[in-house]
Amino acid sequence: MTPERGSPSTPQVFRRATDAVWRATPGFLALARPDGATLDVSGPGFRIWQLLVTPATMTELVIVLATEYGAPLDEVERDVDEFIKTLADSGFVHADP
């Protein structure tokens, strides 16, 4: 696996934006914010969003999803990284620190 974002000793923790409203069903996630931003995502993103009910690091997300889907870690990591980037770019997920 590639190194976590953030400093070497403190991996980034991803958390949902507190002003997001959402619906998640298997294979689909709909997000919106009061400022008018919206995002629809098809695929396993809904599951990542569900897992983010508790703030989590990339490694934590990848391990859970790789276990659930029985997929190779590096493959899952690529997908999670891409999805988290989409959420972060649109302001639906924030990273700490």
Report the interface residues with another protein, using CB under 8 A: 18-25, 27-28, 30-34, 36, 38, 40, 42
CA 36 remoteness from chain centre: 21
φ, ψ dihedrals at 85, nearest 5°: -60, -45
Q: Are 68 and 47 in contact (CB under 8 A)?
A: yes
Q: How near is the Cβ of 19 to another protein at its closest, in Å?
A: 4
Q: How near is the Cβ of 9 to another protein at its closest, in Å?
A: 31
Nearer to another protein, 3 or 34 (CB): 34
Nearer to another protein, 30 or 88 (CB): 30
Nearer to another protein, 1 or 21 (CB): 21
